[in-house]
């Protein structure tokens, strides 16, 4: 407790860090305020009844922080931006020109980010139109005016809302207090916790005591597992070659290169959720098509993804796969090996250059195998619990806990790093 209070005192005494944290809080408050600004011409009561009865949209609403349920100007959240990021990162691995640009350092990354923003706009418009189309198919009337002009206005509004959130996320990321996009998702989930707890107490009965006890146990296991996963790392020993400087021998120091078991953090989870919700969402468009076989295919896709066994397996595979995929995007063994060689550093027993690159790649693949399996297992643990309890809220709650804890750890680490950096600056 004393250590925690001491850290808070250090944060408050550091003017730059204090202002950065306050700025991030203000940005999150603005996001939550925008989430409660509804688009006119929508029957909110019928809309909430629709989300309560639709599992897919219910999960989307959860991760948007209730913005979809309110039909707010930011109802799409940052989902189009996440989709655009996945597409650009896949293209970077496929298209040689994009791969070259991504290796150009900060300038190359700026270009990729700019193209991601450009791609976000049409994706947001498409998702906005798709959402409107699905809501028009609901049994209860939701959108009062369905004219072409009205639909266009709503599409433009929600697209502008998404780009506004992307801008807020980038402003937050610049302050180095966590990843901006992850923080917005974090804020959305946390904002929905009070109402979820209220509903849980209102609908509580004694027959659910065992279910809730299991949920608490699973929540604790998830929290402990995520903490252990985020803290785990493989330390690669690094030696620095001795050299003659000013008539004296310098260098020869022994350090280490920390390789995190979970390099991707919470991003694989967010990517996996975005991908796994895409097929059933697209299938919803065709459930009232004119062709009988299209209707059958659409209903078949929805049934498949509503099957908990298939959903669990697909979720597990996607989380595991995105762990490798995202790590390959952010960690490049050849660049690390090149930087070590330039600094006159080497791994004992390993030749500098290509051998070091292969060694780092081998070690990374080994630790990612464990990290990816562990992260995927934690992700589907609530699904396994649901098979025994039959409560859908436990599934959603488990995924939410996973994201919230991961983002909270990331924020704490970045604040700790900034405090350490400022301590060195004082010295």
Query: Considering the entire predicted model, what is its pTM?
Result: 0.77
Same domain assignment for residues 168 and 213: no
Same domain assignment for residues 286 and 259: yes
Same domain assignment for residues 357 and 403: yes
Residues 143, 181 contacting (CB under 8 angstroms): no
Same domain assignment for residues 187 and 255: no
Contacts of 9 (CB under 8 A, 6+ apart): none
Q: For residue 44, which of 139, 141, 125, 137 has the smallest C-alpha distance?
A: 141
φ, ψ (nearest 5 deg) of residue 23:
-65, -45
Same domain assignment for residues 138 and 282: no
Rounded-to-integer distance, Cα 57 and Cα 64, Å:
10
Dihedral over Cα of 386, 370, 235, 425: its sign: negative
Tens digit of pLDDT per residue, the chain (427 long)?
A: 566 677 777 777 777 777 888 888 898 889 888 888 888 777 777 777 776 666 666 666 665 656 777 778 888 888 888 888 888 887 887 778 877 877 777 788 888 888 889 999 998 888 888 777 777 766 677 777 677 888 888 889 989 999 999 999 888 888 877 778 888 888 887 877 777 667 666 766 666 677 677 777 777 877 787 778 777 888 888 887 665 555 555 555 678 888 888 787 777 887 887 788 777 777 777 776 777 887 788 878 878 877 778 888 888 888 888 888 888 777 878 888 888 888 778 888 888 888 888 888 888 888 888 888 888 887 777 777 666 655 555 555 556 777 787 788 888 888 877 777 766 656 5
**What dihedral do alpha carbons 59, 223, 83, 151 form, nearest 10°?**
30
- Domain end (from 204, 219, 247): 204
Rounded-to-integer distance, Cα 71 and Cα 330, Å:
35
φ, ψ (nearest 5 deg) of residue 40:
-60, 160
- Domain end (from 185, 204, 223): 204
Rounded-to-integer distance, Cα 36 and Cα 285, Å:
27
Range of the domain at 320: 207-427
Within the chain, what is the greatest distance between any pair of CA atoms? 86
Domain count, the chain: 2
Burial environment of residue 270 by CB neighbours within 10 A (0 to 12, 13 to 18, 19 or more): buried
Same domain assignment for residues 285 and 426: yes
Owner of token pair 């009965």: 205
- Domain end (from 204, 219, 249): 204
Instruction: Output the domain CATH number for residue 215.
Output: 1.10.3370.10
């Amino acid at each position: 407790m004393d250590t925690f209070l001491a850290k808070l005192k250090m944060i408050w005494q550091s003017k730059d860090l204090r202002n950065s944290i306050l700025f991030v809080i203000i940005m999150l408050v603005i996001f939550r305020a925008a989430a409660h600004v509804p688009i006119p011409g929508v029957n909110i009561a019928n809309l909430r009844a629709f989300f309560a009865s639709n599992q897919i949209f219910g999960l989307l609403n959860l991760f948007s922080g209730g913005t979809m349920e309110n039909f707010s100007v930011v109802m799409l959240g940052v989902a189009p931006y996440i989709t655009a990021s996945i597409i650009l990162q896949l293209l970077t691995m496929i298209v040689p020109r994009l791969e070259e640009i991504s290796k150009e350092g900060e300038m190359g990354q700026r270009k990729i980010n700019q193209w991601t923003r450009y791609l976000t706009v049409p994706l947001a418009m498409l998702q906005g139109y798709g959402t409107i189309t699905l809501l028009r198919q609901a049994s209860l009337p939701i959108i009062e005016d369905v004219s072409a002009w009205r639909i266009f206005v709503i599409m433009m509004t929600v697209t502008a809302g998404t780009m506004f959130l992307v801008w807020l996320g980038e402003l937050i990321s610049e302050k180095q207090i966590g990843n901006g996009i992850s923080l917005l998702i974090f804020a959305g989930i946390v904002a929905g916790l009070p109402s979820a707890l209220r509903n849980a107490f209102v609908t509580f009965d004694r027959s659910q005591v065992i279910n809730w006890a299991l949920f608490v146990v699973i929540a604790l296991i998830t929290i402990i597992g995520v903490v252990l996963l985020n803290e785990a790392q493989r330390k690669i020993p690094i030696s620095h070659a001795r050299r003659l400087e000013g008539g004296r021998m310098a260098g020869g120091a022994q350090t280490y290169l920390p390789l995190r078991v979970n390099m991707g953090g919470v991003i694989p989870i967010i990517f996996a959720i975005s991908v796994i919700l895409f097929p059933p969402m697209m299938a919803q468009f065709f459930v009232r098509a004119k062709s009988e076989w299209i209707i059958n295919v659409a209903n078949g896709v929805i049934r498949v993804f509503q099957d908990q066994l298939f959903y669990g397996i697909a979720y597990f595979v996607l989380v595991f796969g995105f762990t490798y995929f995202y790590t390959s995007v952010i960690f490049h063994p050849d660049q690390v090996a090149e930087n070590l060689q330039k600094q006159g550093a080497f791994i004992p027993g390993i030749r500098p250059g290509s051998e070091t690159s292969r060694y780092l790649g081998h070690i990374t693949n080994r630790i990612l195998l464990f990290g990816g399996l562990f992260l995927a297992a934690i992700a589907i643990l609530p699904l396994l619990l649901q098979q025994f309890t039959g409560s859908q809220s436990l599934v959603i709650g488990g995924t939410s806990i996973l994201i919230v804890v991961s983002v909270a750890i990331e924020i704490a680490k970045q604040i700790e790093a900034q405090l350490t950096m400022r301590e060195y600056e004082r010295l």
